A and B are shown apart, each in its own frame.
Chain A
Amino acid sequence: MSGRIVHIASNTFREAVRDRVLYNLIAFALLLSGAAILVGEISIDIEKLVVINLGLTAVSLFGIVIAIFIGIGLVSKEIERRTLYTVLSRPVRRWEFIVGKFFGLAGTLLVNTFFMAIGVFAALLYVAHRFHMPDAWILVALYFIVLQFLIICALALLFSSFSSPLLSAVFAFSLFVIGSFAEDLRGFAGMAHGLSRWLATGAAYLVPNFSALNVISSVAHERPVAGPLILYNTAYALTYAAVALCGAVLIFEHRDLK
């Protein structure tokens, strides 16, 4: 069973590489090296801050765009090319296909983030000339960004399991935007009364909370991230991704592929 999932995951990763997904690293490298050189000229006293903010924001946005645009095509493309039927005609269960695709996409994003992280630290070294202990918190911010990717990957797969690529992209991107406002939604729920309160509270817990996973500003100011937050964010992201993945499995399991 695990062998089949690993096989599908590695194929998904290879396919992403063949689709030149990792070419985005070139754009990222150009952006960051340009910023590192220019930032000293235009930013006063905050070169390091700008490089961290820009670098981590770029890692996050590049990854989210990749997660959405690859994730939405993972199932539909296989159906369109009819390769899905070949895969499912072998002893591969539908849920294994979905889980394998998820790990393949997550692996692609992990590799992508690894190279981007090297870029961020290289740019940081260029502007600051040496690393300091608080710079280690950047790794935590990168880890939280990877957790965001896991949620987005699972959501893209969920939508991809029943919808067209275009609609899946709209749904996934909308959820990312709404998830960024999750705390506002919770604030609104706190102010509302009666049914509105229940609905707003329900919606606030239903959508993914991306704001809790965004500590870019905090680490840019060299502020530490609390250990329990790392723990709970990890558990939350994995749980939420599992929910979306289970939803994708359930829908795909009962989908008529004829």
Chain B
Amino acid sequence: MTASQRTTIVASLLLVGCMLASVVLLRRVDQMRTMATLDEVLYITSPKTLKRLSLGYEGLMADIYWTRAVQYFGRKHHQHSKHYDLLATLLEISTQLDPQLLVAYQFGATFLAPQPPNGAGMPEKAIQLIEYGIRNNPNDWHLYYELGFIYYTDKKDYAGALEAFERGSRVPDAHPFMKLLAAQMAQHAGELQTARMLWLTTYQTTQDKQIRANAIAHLRALQVDEDVTNLQRAVTQYGEKTGHLPPSFSAMVAAGVVSRIPVDPDGHAYKLMPDGRIEVRMPDDFPFIEKGLPPGYTPPQPKLPPSD
């Protein structure tokens, strides 16, 4: 073996060995510095400064910040966090760098406004974000829809929701649904059907997998809430008819107060408790339900079902 060949072999082995060692070491460093990347990102929180630093390439910079906003939310959500302090800033930076980045407004409306752990619990920030989006994209009806949605679901401000849907319905080429939603707000605000209509529209008008999954989870929860309400009414009817609480769902079917043994959207039968309450068999699978929960139930971190 010549000296040159020996050098080649030693250098190649060293190269591979050192490369592997650097990967192992970096993984150790990452374990010690969790969240370091995002901390570094937000050393600069001013969108104006970032716009200047981007040297005119603000489109790519916006995409980078938008991706980081999604990763930030995903990671915090996965960690069962109740604080999403940087989400509003990341979305603000993304949208100020690229005011036409519509998906960021939609994401903001869906995950910035709801209370933790489902969102950042910042409905005012979400409204500011969407209003900024409307100022920059006045002819996009989706943004008015998102605004009305926040007023309806997070602020419970039905007048605000009505105004937002009405504004959106006047936009050229607005979805005909906007007029319907405005009318629904005026007459049936707070009803289950109105909420279902809103979540269904959200599901149908987005391609974003997380937003779709969130809409599906809410639609499933609304279905459960409606089922429990109807079953509770049937229990009362049974009591009025027989003078005692139903012993089972079969007895309720036999009495004609329900047509069949009811099941939740996953196919599991509801539970009829001895005191006549209706409970969901697997409450952990329905993170947004308001009815049918066992007494003292503490919800775990919501699990969003896959959208596809």
Chain A contacts to B: CB under 8 angstroms: 42-46, 49-50, 52-54, 57, 60-61, 176-177, 180-181, 184, 210-211, 214, 216-217, 220-221, 223
Q: Cβ of A46 and Cβ of B66 under 8 Å apart?
A: yes
Q: Cβ of B63 and Cβ of A50 under 8 Å apart?
A: yes
**Residues on the B chain within 8 Å of A52, using CB:** 59
Output the nearest chain A residue to B103 by Cβ-Cβ distance.
A45
14 contacts between A and B (CB under 8 A): A43-B70, A44-B208, A46-B101, A46-B103, A50-B60, A54-B63, A176-B55, A180-B56, A181-B52, A210-B56, A214-B56, A214-B57, A216-B60, A217-B100
Instruction: Given the known inter-chain contacts A44-B70, A44-B210, please indicate yes or no for A216 contacting B63, CB distance below 8 A.
Output: no
Nearest CB of chain A from residue B75's CB, rounded to whole Å:
13
Q: How far is the CA of A138 from the CA of B100 in the complex (A)?
A: 17
**Residues on the A chain within 8 Å of B67, using CB:** 42-43, 50
**Residues on the A chain within 8 Å of B71, using CB:** 42
Nearest CB of chain B from residue A144's CB, rounded to whole Å:
11
Q: Cβ of A46 and Cβ of B209 under 8 Å apart?
A: no
Which listed residue (A49, A180, A184, A211) contacts B63, Cβ 8 A? A49
Q: Cβ of B59 and Cβ of A217 under 8 Å apart?
A: yes
Q: Cβ of A57 and Cβ of B57 under 8 Å apart?
A: yes
**Residues on the A chain within 8 Å of B154, using CB:** none
**Residues on the A chain within 8 Å of B22, using CB:** none
Output the nearest chain B residue to A52 by Cβ-Cβ distance.
B59
**Residues on the B chain within 8 Å of A210, using CB:** 56
**Residues on the A chain within 8 Å of B58, using CB:** 217
Output the nearest chain B residue to A60 by Cβ-Cβ distance.
B57
**Residues on the A chain within 8 Å of B100, using CB:** 217, 221, 223
Q: How far is the CA of A184 from the CA of B56 in the complex (A)?
A: 12
Q: Mark B27-66, 1 if CB is under 8 A from A, else 0.
A: 0000000000000000000000000100111111011001
**Residues on the B chain within 8 Å of A180, using CB:** 55-56
B207 at the A interface (CB under 8 A): yes
Q: How far is the CA of A57 from the CA of B62 in the complex (A)?
A: 13
B98 at the A interface (CB under 8 A): yes
Which listed residue (B56, B98, B101, B209) contacts A211, Cβ 8 A? B56
Q: How far is the CA of A202 from the CA of B246 in the complex (A)?
A: 89
Q: Cβ of A43 and Cβ of B56 under 8 Å apart?
A: no
List 11 other contacts, CB 8 Å, given A49-B59, A223-B100. Answer: A42-B70, A46-B103, A50-B60, A53-B57, A53-B59, A57-B57, A57-B59, A180-B55, A181-B52, A184-B52, A216-B59
**Residues on the B chain within 8 Å of A61, using CB:** 57
Q: How far is the CA of A214 from the CA of B62 in the complex (A)?
A: 15
Q: Cβ of A54 and Cβ of B56 under 8 Å apart?
A: no
Q: How far is the CA of A98 from the CA of B63 in the complex (A)?
A: 41
**Residues on the B chain within 8 Å of A45, using CB:** 103, 206-208
Output the nearest chain B residue to A219 by Cβ-Cβ distance.
B59
Output the nearest chain B residue to A213 by Cβ-Cβ distance.
B56
Nearest CB of chain A from residue B267's CB, rounded to whole Å:
30
**Residues on the A chain within 8 Å of B60, using CB:** 50, 53-54, 57, 216
Q: Mark B201-222, 1 if CB is under 8 A from A, else 0.
A: 0000011111000000000000
Output the nearest chain A residue to B107 by Cβ-Cβ distance.
A44
**Residues on the A chain within 8 Å of B208, using CB:** 44-45
Nearest CB of chain B from residue A84's CB, rounded to whole Å:
34
Nearest CB of chain B from residue A127's CB, rounded to whole Å:
13
Which listed residue (B55, B101, B103) contacts A177, Cβ 8 A? B55
Q: How far is the CA of A54 from the CA of B63 in the complex (A)?
A: 9
**Residues on the B chain within 8 Å of A60, using CB:** 57
**Residues on the A chain within 8 Å of B207, using CB:** 45
Instruction: Given the known inter-chain contacts A44-B103, A49-B63, please indicate yes or no for A216 contacting B52, CB distance below 8 A.
Output: no
Q: How far is the CA of A61 from the CA of B60 in the complex (A)?
A: 12
**Residues on the B chain within 8 Å of A181, using CB:** 52
**Residues on the A chain within 8 Å of B209, using CB:** 44
Q: Cβ of A220 and Cβ of B59 under 8 Å apart?
A: yes
Nearest CB of chain A from residue B162's CB, rounded to whole Å:
28
**Residues on the A chain within 8 Å of B59, using CB:** 49, 52-53, 57, 216-217, 220
Q: Which of B88-117 contact A (CB under 8 A)?
A: 98, 100-101, 103, 107
Nearest CB of chain B from residue A166's CB, rounded to whole Å:
21
Q: How far is the CA of A211 from the CA of B70 in the complex (A)?
A: 29
